[in-house]
Structure 1
Amino acid sequence: MKHLGTVTLETPRLILRKYTLEDSESMFRNWANDDEVSRFLTWPTHKSVQDSREIISMWINEYNNEKSYMWCIELKEVHEPIGGISVVHLSEEISSAEIGYSIGKAYWHQGITSEALSAIMDFLFNQVGVNRIEAKHDSNNPNSGKVMMSCGLKYEGTRLMADRNNSGICDVVLYGLIARDYTPTI
């Protein structure tokens, strides 16, 4: 793999970029403070803008590492962050990246997350040179799986009672794709 870190990517509706401390209020307001958004995620709902500021500050420090891939999803139309997408696990051994994402409820069911994921997949396969991209979701959150499938990830199985998130212990649905089978969706 040729690590490039979090570079700015652009799609028709989005700018995928590094977070800045100025994004703290938008992050808190648009998605991180919403229990419904974080219901199936592993990080706790933010209780204050300071919570968002602290996590963004930590991420900013991680941008010095070229193996760090954490994008703020900025919707061009509103000129502010509406979600995030990142490589949550990177394996050098098998050249794979696991992707995780969250987006504000006001932006659900508009194809925005699929647009972001497609851009990230294209970047990781074609510029970083990963061989495998994978993602997973709680079986009670099938809409997340629809995003994965719309971007070409293939269902690989369900692990029963295999993870814990804000809803408790859950079944995990796994999706993956290897480079030789990748066809861009954007």
Structure 2
Amino acid sequence: MKHCGTQRLETNRLILRRYANEDAASMYKNWASDKEVTKFLMWPAHSNQEVSQSVIEDWVNQYSHENYYHWAIVLKENGDEPIGDIAVVNMKEEISMVHIGYCIGRAWWHKGITSEALKAVMHFLFDVVDVNRIESRHDPRNPNSGKVMKKCGMKYEGTLRSADWNNQGICDACYYALLKSER
């Protein structure tokens, strides 16, 4: 892989950019404090803005690493306010694979925004970072997350039973992936 760190990406409606410490209030308000958004995630809803601030400060510090890829999702029509998050949450250098995780504020669900963000990140990872495999997974009780993966061309590879956990406890994990050669 040809690591270059988190780069600013742009689509028709979105800007995907690095987080800044000033994003904590938007993160807390728009998605991190919402138990419905975090229901199928691996981190609990933030209890206050200070938690969001601490998390963002850690992310900002990670940008010094060239193999760190983490974006704030910004809707152009909203100015510079983040409405969601997308990141490489796991990486296996030896097989040139990245695993992507994402979430978006409930006010922006079912508008194609997450799919638009994921497509942009996938193009960047395949074309610039030279990744061979991009994968993601979701709890089968959260089928809309799988619809995002399908819409972006990922292929369903199977469901691992009781192989994962989230805020609902131990769960199954539906895996999707796309190889560079399949684009």
TM-score, reference length from structure 1: 0.97
1:152 alignment counterpart: 153
Is 1:38 matched up with 2:38? yes
Describe the SS at the equivalent of 1:121.
helix
Corresponding position: 1:9 with 2:9:
yes
Aligned-partner Cα distance in 1 for 2:74–2:52: 16
Deviations 1:110-149 (A, max 9, x none): 0000000000000000010000000000010000000000
Distance 1:23 1:45 in 2: 16
Measured after TM superposition, the shift of residue 153 of structure 1 is 0.3
Where in structure 2 are the equivalents of 1:35-184 lying within 5 Å? 35-79=35-79, 80-182=81-183
**Secondary structure at the counterpart of residue 38 of structure 1:** coil
Report the CA distance between 1:97 and its aligned residue.
Answer: 0.5
Moved over 2 A (4+): none
- Percent of residue pairs bearing the same amino acid type: 58
* Unaligned runs of at least 5 residues, structure 2: none
Query: 1:44: how far off?
Result: 1.1
Paired AA for residue 147 in structure 2 = K
Which SS does the other structure have where 1:102 is aligned?
strand
What SS does structure 1 have at the residue aligned with 2:51?
helix
Look up the SS of the partner of 1:2 in the other structure: coil
Q: Give the equivalent residue in structure 1 for 2:22.
A: 22
How far apart are the structure 2 equivalents of 1:77 and 1:106? Answer: 14
In 1, the alpha carbon distance for the partners of 2:165 and 2:124 equals 30
Write the distance in 2 (CA, Å) between the matches of 1:6 and 1:56: 15
Q: 3-state DSSP class of the match of 1:36?
A: coil
Structure 1: distance between partners of 2:45 and 2:87 = 18
Letter matched to residue 50 of structure 1: E
SS of corresponding position for 2:46:
coil
Give distance in 2, aligned partners of 1:91 and 1:172: 19
Q: TM-score, with normalisation over the residues of structure 2?
A: 0.99
Structure 1 Cα separation of the partners of residues 92 and 65 of structure 2: 15
Which letter does structure 2 place at the counterpart of 1:21?
A: N
CA separation in 1, counterparts of 2:82 and 2:67?
23
Size of the aligned set, in residue pairs, is: 182
